[in-house]
Chain A
Amino acid sequence: MSADTVPAAEGDPGTTWGPVTGWGRTAPTTARLIRPRTYQEAADAVRDCGARGGIARGLGRAYGDAAQNAGGAVLDMTALDRIHAIDAAGGTVLCDAGVSLHRLMEVLLPLGWFVPVTPGTRYVTVGGAIGADIHGKNHHVCGSFSRHVLSFELLTADGQVRTVDRGTPLFDATTGGMGLTGVVLTATVRLQPVETALMSVDTERATDLDDLMARLTATDHRYRYSVAWIDLLARGAHTGRAVLTRGDHAPLDALPERSRARRDPLAFRTSRLPAAPDLIPDGLLSRTTVGLFNELWYRKAPRVSRGRLQRISTFFHPLDGVPHWNRVYGRGGFVQYQFVVGHDRADALRRIVRRISEHRCPSFLAVLKRFGEADPGWLSFPVPGWTLALDIPAGLPGLGAFLDGLDEEVARAGGRVYLAKDSRLRPELLDAMYPRLPDFRALRAELDPRGVFVSDLARRLAL
C-alpha cells in the first residue's frame, strides 16, 4: 500500500484512492489512503477525514477488514517510524506507533533487549500491536502486548493528543480496541532482557489431540515460549497429531565455544527467500497438497529434541522468510479463524478439532496454544484457555456455513473469536463473546460522538 502513496504536493501528506484488503486478501474496499509524516499531518487527516471517517493502518497484517474503511480515509502510519528513546539500563523504549517490531528487534537486540511479545510475524507496527492487543507464544507467561505498554499517546476524534496511562478506561478501551478509539501516535513499551539473539528450542511430537493437550498442560510452565503446530487433516486415531516447539532465549553459555554465534551473540540474523509471485492459481492449496505438506512436516520433526539453537526469525517468524506468503492462496484469498475456549471447556475444543478434521479443511498453518491470564483490554482477545488458529482458502465450498457452525460451538462454550483475524463473524454473536462491548460502545459514543473512527470491521460487526 505504502508504495503507491506519493506526496501529492509540498506540505501535503501523500493521498491516493486505492483498493485495500487485509492480509487474507478477501473483501477489498476502496479508501483514500493518507500517509501522514508528522503528528500534525495525522491530526489534520483526522480532522478532515469526512463523512465516512478514518482508521489507522500499519503494515496490513490483520487478516480481515480491521484496517479498511470503504469510501473513507485510511491513515497509513508507517511513515511515523521514529524510535525516540531507549532506556538501555531500565529496558524501555519510546517510539512512534508506525515502528515495526522488525525494526525494534534490529535496534534493540544488539543492546541486549527483545520485544516483550511477538506474534507469528515481526512485520506489525507497535500501533497495530496495541490496537489488536496481540499475543505471542509467551502468552501463558507474559500475557498480551498491552501488559508491557506503560503508556501511549492517542490522537482522538476531537484532534487532541492525550497521554493514556495504564489502568485508565481509555487505556483498556484502546488495547484491543481495533483502532476505533483513535490513532496511537507513540508508545512506551517495557522490554525483555536477552543474552543472545538465539533461541534454545525443545521439539517433540504428539500422536493425537489428547496426547498434545496432556503434554501442553503438564509442561508448558517450564517454557517461556510454547506453541504446537497441529495437523488438522489427520483423521481417525491421528486426529490432532502435532509438533510442539517450546523454548526460551538461549543464555550466553549455551552457545558453542569459538562459534560465530559466540563471537557476536546479539546479532539479529534473518534470511529471506524471493517473494511469492502474484500469479498462483486459486487451487494450489488443496486437500491433497496440504495433506502432503502436513504429512511431511510431521515426519520431518524430530520425535524429541532438546536445546536446539535456532534464530529468532526461524523460531518466531518462519513465514516472514517468504515475503507476500499470503499470495500462495491465489486471488481468492484465505480466511483465518482463531478462537479461544476456557481451560474447562476442552470438550468443545475436541469437538471443534474433530469437526475441522472431518470437514477436511486444507489448513497448513494451524496452531494450538494455551493462554495464560487475561489482560484488562475490553475487546482484548486472550482469556485463559485453549486457542486454536487455522487458515483456510476462502474458496473452499461451504466454508461460510461451516465456520458459522464453529462460531456457535465457541459461543456456547463461552469462548470468543479474534477480531484481528475475523472477516466473516455473524454480528449477533459478538455481544456474547465480548461482554465488555457495551462499555466500549459507550466510551466511543462519548469520546467520538460523530463516529470519526470507523472501519469496515466496525461497520460489519456494529462495534
Chain B
Amino acid sequence: MKDAFGIPQSLLVLGGTSEIALATARRLVARRTRTVWLAGRPSPALDRAAERLRDLGAEVRTVAFDALDPESHEAALGKVFAEGDIDMVLLAFGVLGDQAHDEREPLNAVRVAQTNYTGAVSAGLISARALQAQGHGSLVVLSSVAGERARRANFIYGSSKAGLDAFAQGLGDALHGTGVHVMVVRPGFVRSRMTEGMAEAPLATTPEAVATAIELGLRRRSETVWVPGALRVVMSALRHLPRGVFRRLPV
C-alpha cells in the first residue's frame, strides 16, 4: 500500500533499463519501496539494473517483457499482478529513433510508433485493469514535451509521444473515482544514454530531477508533471505560436 505521502511499497517498472525509471526506483527504494519488478527484454543490462537495486535493499525480480509484442503482455503482466498488489506501475519504455534515418526507412519509424504508442496502449490498459481490481495504485506514464507540439526535427518520436500522452490523459479520466491514479510526466531534454551526443536543449534536466518530480507528484496525486516545472509555461507559449512562426524556430 502507498503511505500518506503516496510512496509505494511495490513498484513495477515497464522498461526496466530506462535511466529515468531506475533513478525513480532508487529514490523510492530509499523511502518505502521494498518490492520492485523490472520488466524488459532479458539482457545483461536488465540484470545489472536489478542487482543495483538489490544492493539498496529492495527485493527485485525481473520479468521478460517486449513492448513490440503486445500479444505477450497479458501473460507477462498477469504473472506480476498475480503475485500481489502493485502500488505503482511506471510505464517507462520508449525509443527515440533517428528522425532523418527513419524518414527514409518507414519500417523503422513504425517501430518507434509501435514501441512508444501501441505497446504503451496495450501495457497501459492491462495495468489499469489490474490496478482497478485492486482499488488502488498509481500508473505513472513517461511522456515527453516532444508530444506537446510536433517539431520538424523529431516529429516521428513526437507524434508517438503525443499519442501516448493523449491516451494516458484519457485513461486517467476513465479511471477517475476508481481509486487508480494516472500521472502523466512530461520531461524536457533529459541528459541520458538516450540523448547522448545530441545538442542539449534549453531547460535540460537529469533522470534524478525527473525522479524527484515524480515523488512530489505522487504525494500531491498530480495528474500532470512537467520537468522542470518551467516547461509548462514555455510549452504553453510554444503551443500557441502560429505554424509559420513555429516552423522557423531553431528547435
Contacts and interface: CB of A to CB of B under 8 A. Distances in A.
Given A24-B4, A394-B5, A71 B219 contact: no
Could you tell me the dominant secondary structure of chain A's interface residues?
loop
Given A426-B32, A459-B85, A26 B4 contact: yes
B42 interface: no
Contacts of B5: 26, 394, 399-400, 424
B179 interface: yes
A394 B219 contact: yes
Contacts of A64: 4
A8 interface: no
Nearest to B176: A19
A81 B175 CA distance: 35
B9 A30 contact: no
A29 interface: yes
B229 interface: no
Interface residues of B, number: 21
A124 B31 CA distance: 33
Contacts of A423: 3-4
B1 interface: yes
Interface stretch (B133-141, B165-173, B198-206, B241-249): B133-141
A30 B6 CA distance: 15
Interface in A16-34: 17-19, 24, 26-31
Nearest to A458: B1
A456 interface: yes
Interface residues of A, number: 32
A31 B1 contact: no
A459 B85 CA distance: 9
B135 A30 contact: yes
A70 B31 contact: no
B2 interface: yes
Contacts of B134: 52, 70-71
A142 to B, nearest CB: 31
A72 interface: yes
A71 B135 CA distance: 4
B219 A460 contact: no
Contacts of A395: 219-220
Nearest to A333: B4
Interface in A442-461: 456, 459-460
Interface in A276-321: none
A85 interface: no
A335 B4 contact: yes
20 contacts: A18-B177, A24-B4, A26-B4, A27-B1, A27-B2, A27-B4, A28-B179, A30-B135, A30-B178, A30-B179, A65-B1, A70-B1, A71-B135, A394-B4, A400-B5, A401-B31, A424-B3, A456-B1, A459-B85, A460-B3
Given A71-B135, A394-B4, 13 more contacts: A27-B1, A27-B4, A27-B6, A30-B136, A31-B135, A69-B135, A70-B85, A71-B133, A332-B219, A395-B220, A400-B5, A459-B85, A460-B9
Interface of A: 17-19, 24, 26-31, 52, 64-65, 69-72, 332-333, 335, 394-395, 399-401, 423-424, 426-427, 456, 459-460
